[in-house]
Amino acid sequence: MTNIKKPGLKTDDIFEQLDSLRKSSPFYSSTYNFDGFLLEFKTNRASLKKTIDEYYCHFISDSSEKNDLNVVYAYDGIDISLEAIPLKVQPHDSDKSPKEGYVDDNNGRIIKKLRTKVQLYMKGQQYIASGPLSDHPNQVINFINNIFMGVKLNEHHSQLLHASAVTSKGIGLAFAAPSGKGKSTLCLKVMDDGIDYVSNDRLMIYHMDDQLRMMGVPKYPRINPGTIVHNKRITSILSEKEKIRYLAIPNEELWQLEKKHDLMIEKHYQKSSFTLRSPLHHLIIINWDHDSNEPHFLQKVSLRERADLLPCVMKGPSLATPNSPVSYDLQPEQYLQLLDHCQVWELTGRVDFDSAADNIRKMMIS
């Protein structure tokens, strides 16, 4: 790791140092096209370019268009010391230890991932990542996706949902749920040949031409062992030893096990594709219970009458989303005005992924 350390550095000094690096470093580059959003990725490390290219293989573009091209610079193995800059700590919703510190002023925003030492920099149209990036490529991917979300959220005055989504023949369906209820698992169970994947955990919605629409994020599902071992289509992600070990764990404990695996949709769902944009017709809020003795039940609800369901749907942008405020006040009425244009359902009763997925598929094609 190359360490750039100068006493007394301020935020504007940091960006000057980064600009100097940009002018002097050789780069390996690729361009990605996310539904018309062109982004060029430049890095000093060929192996990192290869990793990011493999992830975004279905979005690689040969476009020579340079107008409105967003550029992300990734300096792998270069650490710029932030010791002289007082970072504020950003608490994490579900974890006692903070994950990131930041400084935000007129000179730009700097974010330091406290656990991985990855650093992110945003100033105007400058988007830069540095640190041990090859060790943490998922944080580079998250940064690219946050830039994409920052542009698209502003483009259509969209709202951000904490939701997964699929689409088939112009019928779009999203899943939202409190943590641990299985929205990603059910989303993948619903996917059959010909049903396309839209998004895993973040979904932007907006109204256009008298229709509610959704825009996904180019990020593949990151799923836990509980999701994998209960879906025959994707069990090949695990080794035979892993399958045996996980299947020996009690279900309740298995569903709580956090060990993320990337699921490349096109590899396991050959007749499906990654489709970022679709109309949105149905929102299913998963509210079932492992301890329930009642069969699963899907019923229509009004979010205006069931305000208790709205918090699991709403999601604010992260610090790494360009132009987002550090403190973000969610506006329930803005969500309600959009979601008035789709049918909302609540899924209750006992957890039964297979049966629920069958019923939902029938609903999509009826």
Q: What's the CA gap between 164 and 197, in Å, rounded?
A: 9
The answer to whether the CB of 75 falls within 8 A of the CB of 128 is yes
Helix, strand, or coil (residue 292): coil
**Contacts of residue 90, Cβ cutoff 8 Å, sequence gap at least 6:** 98, 99, 100, 101, 102, 319, 326
Half-sphere exposure of 270 (CA within 13 A, CB side): 1
How many other CB atoms are found less than 10 A from the CB of residue 162? 18
pLDDT score for 20: 79
The pair of three-digit structure tokens given for residue 233, joined into one six-digit string: 């289509």
The pair of three-digit structure tokens given for residue 35, joined into one six-digit string: 């539904």
Helix or strand holding residue 282 (H, E): strand 282-286
Q: Where along the chain do its domains lie? A: 2-155, 159-221+263-365
Q: What's the CA gap between 282 and 359, in Å, rounded?
A: 13
Closest CA to 118 of 150, 149, 90, 79: 79
Helix or strand holding residue 38 (H, E): strand 37-43
Per-residue pLDDT of the chain (366 residues; tens, 9 = 90+): 555 555 555 667 777 777 777 777 779 999 999 999 999 999 999 999 999 999 999 999 986 666 678 899 999 998 887 776 778 887 665 556 788 889 888 778 999 999 999 999 998 888 999 999 999 999 999 999 999 999 999 888 899 999 999 999 999 999 999 877 888 889 999 997 679 999 989 999 999 999 999 999 999 988 889 889 888 889 999 999 999 999 999 887 887 888 888 999 888 888 888 999 999 999 999 999 888 999 999 999 999 999 999 999 999 999 899 888 877 788 999 999 999 999 999 999 999 999 999 999 988 877
The answer to whether the CB of 298 falls within 8 A of the CB of 356 is yes
CATH of region 159-221+263-365: 3.90.228.20
